[in-house]
Chain A
Amino acid sequence: MTLFLLRRLLYALPIVLGVSLVCFALVHIAPGDPLISVLPPDATDEVRARMMAAYGFDRPYHEQFLLWAWRALHGDLGMSIATARPVASEVIRAVGNTLILAVAATVIGFAFGLLFGVVAGYFRDSWIDKAASTLAVVGVSVPHYWLGMVLVIIFSSELGWLPATGMGPSGSSGWVPDLEHLKHLALPALTMSVIPMGIVARTTRALVAEILSQDFVGALRAKGLSEGGVFRHVVKNAAPTAIAVMGLQLGYLLGGSILIETVFSWPGTGFLLNNAIFQRDLPLLQGTILVLALFFVVLNLVVDVVQTLLDPRIQRA
């Protein structure tokens, strides 16, 4: 297992390096002025040159990259140009906020996804299967942005039951699991949960249906095992794949959703990226993408390890 872990860690290093390089190149290739948030277009050449030097944009690209990468290795992601706050603290705060949203969306998405998937797989080709599959397809297909707006119109504008925007009520300094904050969480989490719900439901349905058709299930039944016992075996066999899908989906959700977080003004990583892109805040953009890429790498690693623990054949392969 240690060797397996080391090998996986080693694989992760070039991925992180590649991601940082591509991300650095992309943000610098994009048109626009990196000082747009702090320098109006009328600024004199002298002021512009001074600012370019102060932020290090006057250096060659490779120097800028190496300096940034070296600092990043030491945990310093630089300062946001727009806010003059450390990027690391901005990203950590945003990741924390997205984590709240992602975990809530995961809980909702997987609970309903598994329920629909298992029910559909167990009652394959029945009307229950068709209804559950239809829900899953709708979940995957419906545009987030549109669903968010519809939910806001119904539950905020018309019924006034839930807040339309923000993480908490007036006077709140951070998220705490009380009723007011849960109310703020409800709509964005529900909106965010529909895609993982659909994906998990479809995957689980296929898995359950396939496992039920295998010989060992017939053997279990022939041995006189109750349906509950057979069900436990089915779930155990379906678990590694379901967990892999769950891990990937959680990874996507942790990346934040620019659309959902913007619609609900949820100050997570998607909202942060959106801001960074529009303000050409290169240090913030690079820092956020790097942290998110690292999240993916770590999450994949965790999923691999858990899968291996559940099914040792994977390690041998």
Chain B
Amino acid sequence: MKRTGLRALLLGVVALAGVVGTAAAQERVLRIGMTAADIPRTLGQPDQGFEGNRFTGIPLYDALTHWDLSKADQASVVIPGLATEWAVDANDRTKWVFRLRPGVRFHDGSPFNAAAVVWNVQKVLDQNAPHFDQSQVGVTVSRMPTLRSARAIDELTVELTTSEPDSFLPINLTNLFMASPAHWQAKFNAVPASVTDPRARAQQAWAAFAADPSGTGPFRGARFVPRERFEMTANRDYWDAARRPQIDRVVLLPIPEANARTAALLGNQVDWIEAPAPDAVPQITRRGFVMYQNAQPHVWPWQFSFVEGSPWLDRRVRHAANLCVNREEMKQLLGGLMETPRGSVPPGHPWWGNPSFNIRYDLPEAQRLMREAGHSPQRLLQVRVLTSASGSGQMQPVVMNEFLQQALRECYFDVQLEVGEWNAVFTNWREGARHPNARGANAINVTFATMDPFFAMVRFVSSATQPPVSNNWGHFVNPEFDQLIAAARTTFDAAGRDAALARLHARIVEEAPFLWVAHDVGPRAMSARVKGVVQPRSWFIDIATMRIE
């Protein structure tokens, strides 16, 4: 009897192990090698730039407004997220009313409502709130510069107030991710009583929250190993049925070295890598992996100086530089990993605007313009460009700048490259062309994202954004542009706002405060087992709609 029981017990254990083993074997796991050197922050407001939003923002959290990531052939536009509709107050255009999506719950089971929105605005804007977190302020507030406060009107209606009328607010709000107040409070309550300073308690609560996050997104945080891995599991109760994950688990691995990422993919250690080593692309495709790329809202430019004595004050010179570069050759040089720009946004984009200046390769016209401006092979125009040897979004700056140096020689430019350390160059981007750290440069090479109108256009051409306020590095001042910006900011219907932005973009291209060189294409390589991949024209990508075969 005893032996029979033991045998039955053993059989049971074996059977259970088999079931568990099969389930584990069948788990659909997607392993991603990121370029980041650390796991982007998981507490709601990620760091590590847009890669952070891509991997620990959008999958874990929702914002009031979302980017539409479902199309590869159109510009990504803002769509409803946790808010179903919104409108500005006709009498006071600094107030917006957002109607919230009913029935949404955080991963911890608590409800998402107007109070949660107020709490999430307070976490970065209200220094007196117990959960205010300084470490989240920088990456958040800078991306929604005019938002000032939030007030709950009822359970599912919230009023947001801005410092001035600002039609960009719904776009900015894609950056404010909704973390769970109830979950944070639970973490706060669990902080040992020995920690008495409220700020220290809040800090510890946020640290605990980051290790065990709770948002409303399609994935839940499952395992966090600092600097090593972050694992997320599918949220089967996600409110948007179309984005309910078909992948069971996503593993994020920081692999900052491009060759190491490539080797990890080739060795089947990961299923997806960001930015593979360009030289390895043929090998990657030969081994059956799939390359994805699409024009990103990104510009690789030279931004010109308009301070006294700058060689770029003459518009003919600016146009000549834009006409002198054979970008198709540069594309070849980069193994096809770039798109040719026609402005800061491409034709077909809602902000395109059909400018009269056509950015293209036209050497005779470029030379004619330069001769007209008084330059020739005997009278070269000296220009000095501040650039870096590497840096986020900079693609391959040395190779690309040397290509430009050579190309522009054909149009009577004598280009001197001033190569600085990335952080120093980046810092000077805000200090401006007049600052000693510009090292006498009259153009700067710092790449930028163009998802948001402020970041894409306004900060470079508004007289109010001259250094040290923002990135109008070259001190470009033109009252016409200030009026166009004001018109865009105060036009509150989306179509009217986009039309105003299109007029602004067209004028920017015509005045050419940049040499537009390339758009990055966000190359990524994936195992052929990963299906349903849509690479939108965006910095982001939707993991929730992918599947693994």
Contact = CB atoms under 8 A, between A and B. Distances in A.
Interface in A167-195: 167-168, 170-174
B94 to A, nearest CB: 17
Interface string B235-272: 00000000000000001011111011111101111000
Given A44-B469, A93-B226, A156 B421 contact: no
A66 B437 CA distance: 29
B471 A42 contact: yes
Interface in A236-275: 262-265, 267, 271-272, 274-275
B253 A271 contact: no
Given A41-B427, A84-B203, A164 B469 contact: no
A258 B471 CA distance: 33
B141 A152 contact: no
Interface stretch (A32-40, A100-108, A114-122, A208-216): A32-40
Contacts, number: 169
A47 to B, nearest CB: 5
A11 to B, nearest CB: 35
A36 B426 contact: yes
Nearest to B459: A42
A59 interface: no
A42 B460 CA distance: 11
A41 B426 contact: yes
A38 B207 contact: no
B44 to A, nearest CB: 12
Contacts of A168: 228
A84 B264 contact: no
A293 interface: no
B525 to A, nearest CB: 13
Contact of B430 (A38, A41, A263): A41
Contact of A267 (B143, B227, B257): B227
Contact of B260 (A39, A51, A164): A164
B138 to A, nearest CB: 4
Given A32-B423, A42-B455, A94 B256 contact: no
Tell me the interface secondary structure of chain A in the complex: loop
B251 A165 contact: no
Contacts of A265: 253-257, 260
B269 A166 contact: yes
A32 B425 CA distance: 8
Interface string A275-297: 10010100000000000000000
A38 B139 contact: yes
Give the size category of B's interface with A: 35 or more
Given A47-B141, A84-B203, A156 B266 contact: yes
Interface in A20-43: 31-33, 35-43
A132 interface: no
Contacts of A42: 142, 145, 430, 454-455, 459, 470-471
Contact of B142 (A39, A54, A85, A164): A39
A110 to B, nearest CB: 27
Contacts of A149: 259, 263
A70 to B, nearest CB: 17
A170 B47 contact: no
B33 interface: yes
Interface string B427-445: 1011000000100000000
Contacts of A82: 38, 47
B424 interface: yes
B514 to A, nearest CB: 17
Contacts of A40: 138-139, 142-143
Nearest to B430: A41
Contacts of B429: 41
Contact of B259 (A37, A45, A152, A173): A152
B306 interface: no
B29 interface: yes
A139 interface: no
Interface in A215-236: none
A157 interface: yes
A153 interface: yes
B404 to A, nearest CB: 23
A163 interface: yes
Contacts of A201: none
B319 interface: no
A265 B33 CA distance: 10
Contact of A31 (B38, B225, B423): B423
Contacts of B382: none
B259 A174 contact: no
Given A164-B267, A265-B254, A275-B38, A38 B47 contact: yes
A79 interface: yes
Contact of B269 (A33, A36, A51, A156): A156
A172 B134 CA distance: 32
A42 B464 CA distance: 12
Contacts of A35: 138
B109 interface: no
A38 B33 contact: no
A171 B143 contact: no
B37 A271 contact: yes
Given A84-B135, A265-B260, 11 more contacts: A32-B424, A36-B426, A42-B459, A42-B471, A82-B38, A84-B133, A93-B227, A165-B255, A262-B260, A263-B260, A265-B257
Interface of A: 31-33, 35-45, 47, 50-51, 54, 79, 81-85, 90, 93-94, 149, 152-153, 156-157, 160, 162-168, 170-174, 262-265, 267, 271-272, 274-275, 278, 280
Closest 7 CB pairs of A and B: A32-B423, A39-B138, A156-B267, A164-B263, A31-B424, A157-B266, A267-B227
11 contacts: A38-B47, A41-B471, A43-B142, A45-B468, A47-B138, A90-B226, A149-B259, A164-B267, A166-B228, A167-B228, A271-B37
